Amino acid sequence: MLDLEIRKEISERVDAIQPVLIETLKEQIAIPSVVSYEAGEYPFGIKVHEAFIHFLKTAENMGFAVKNVDEYGGHVEFGSGEEMACIIGHLDVVPAGAGWDNGAFNPTVLNGRLYGRGAIDDKGPMVAALYAMKVLKDMGFKPGKLIRLIIGLDEEVEWKGMDRYFETERKPDVGFTPDAMFPVIRGEKGIIVCKLAKKFTKGNNSGLMISKLSGGSAPNMVADSCRAVLRCKNRDRYAEVIDMVNAFKSQGVEISAKKQGTSLIVTTKGVSAHGSNPAAGENAIAHMMKFLSEVSLDAVDQSEFVKFFNRHIGYELNGESLGISMKDDESGELVLNVGMCEISMEEAILSINIRYPVTKTEEDVFDKMENTVKPYGVGIIKGKTQKPIYYEADHPLVKLFMEVYRRNTEDTKSESLVIGGGTYARCTDNILAFGANFPGAEETEHQPNEYVDIEKLMLATKMYAEAIYELAV
C-alpha cells in the first residue's frame, strides 16, 4: 500500500493542475477525430492526426519522450527498465449523431460537467492518465519499470492502428486501459462485427418500393435515425403511406413522412447508446422495419427481407429469434445490436454488433446464425472479431486495482465486473480496464450530450497516478 504522504502529495498536485488539465481536454474535444480510413499520409484521416499530434506535443512540452509510429499510433514514456507498465487508450471518437444541446465538438462546461464527444470515451481518461504521469514525474518518482502511455487511433472501429503499432513496438508486461468503469473490469465478452447481406433478383419497377434506405452511424452504436426513400408510379399510394405514418405515431414512435419530387421520404428517430448496452437506447432501424412490414411493399425481395428482419431480429437484443441466444454464469446473456442498415433496389445489408459470453466462441455464434439466415438467401460477411477475456476475482491485478479504488472512494460494496464492452485490454496479457466511469454514474458514451463529471475525473486522475506508481515501483 502506498505511503500516506505520497498519496497526499499526489492528491494535492492533481488538485493544483485541474485548470490546465481541463483546458487540455477541451482542446482535444474540439477536434472531431472520427476515423476516416484513407490511403496516404494519414491512415485514419486528418482529424485523427490532429488529435494525435496535439496529444504528443502536450506530452513533449511536459518533458516526456514521445514516439509516432507512422501515424498508426504512438506512445508517451518515462523511466526505464526491463519490464514495462503501460496505460493504453484511444483518441478517436464515434460520430456525433443527433440530439446535442451545444454541439458534439463544442466543449461546454455546465454544472460541474464537461460536455463533448470523447469527454468520457476516451479523451477525458487519456488526458487524466497523461497528467497522472506528469504528477509522478514532477514528484521526482523514479520508476523501476519503463512507464508507457500507448495511444490508439482507431479503437472505435477496426483496431488496425494497434495491430500495426505492436508489429514494431514491444508489448507491456502489465497495465490498464482507462476506457470502461470502476472498480475494475476483469472480463469482457467476445465481440463480433458482421454483416447480413442479401442480393435482390425479384424486382418490381412499378409498384411501391424502397429506392434507398439508410440508417445508423456505426455497428457499435444504437441507430438514432433511419431514412427511407419510397417510390411508386402510382402517386396515390403516398397518401395511404402518410396515413399509416400518422397511425404509427400512436405507438410512441417518432416518425415522419414528406413528399419530395416523385418520391416519399419516411424518417424514423431513435435514441443512440453504446452497442454493448442497446437497452439504454431506442433503435430507429427496428422502428423503420416494423413500419415497412405494415406498408405492403410490391418489390418482392425487399418485402421478404423486411419480413426476415421482423421475424428474426426485430426489437430483440439477445438474438433469440436469430438462433444465437446464449448465456453463462460468468458474464450473462449474449447482446445483439443492429447498428446500420442499407437497402437499395439491388441489395440489403445489415451491420450488426454481437457481444457473446466469455465461455463461448465465435464459432458457436456463427454456426447457429447461419442455420437461421441461410434459408432466406441471406449471407454472413464476417468482419472484426475479438475473443473474450476473463480473470478470476482473486487475480493479483484485480486485487491491486480494487485496493486503489476502495481506498480512494471508501466504496466497499462495488465488486469487480465482467462487461459486454470491448477495450484495449484485449491487446495483450495482464491488462485490465480501470475506470473512468464510476458505479451508478450515467453512461453517456456513444450518446448525445456525452459528458464527464469534472470532480470525478480529477479523482480518477489521482487513482491513475497511484495505480501507475504501484505498477511501476
Per-residue burial over 125-157, b if 16 or more Cβ lie within 10 Å, else e, is bbbbbbbbbbbbbeeebebebbbbbbbbbbbbb
CA gap 209, 231 in Å, rounded: 5
**Residue 449: left if φ>0, alpha if ψ -120 to 50, beta else—which one?**
left
> Is the link from the previous residue into 436 a cis peptide, with omega within 30 of 0?
yes
**Residue with the three cell numbers 458514451:** 445
Which triple of cell numbers denotes residue 443? 453512461
Provide the 8-state DSSP code for 172. Answer: P
CA gap 273, 279 in Å, rounded: 8
CA gap 455, 1 in Å, rounded: 24
CA gap 11, 463 in Å, rounded: 9
- The amino acid present at 232, given as its one-letter code, is C
Catalytic residue numbers? Answer: 92, 155
Please answer whether residues 204 and 458 qualify as being in contact, where contact means their C-beta atoms are separated by less than 8 angstroms: no
Which triple of cell numbers denotes residue 310? 421482423
CA gap 188, 278 in Å, rounded: 16
The C-alpha angle with vertex 196 and arms to 193 and 198, in degrees rounded to 5, equals 155
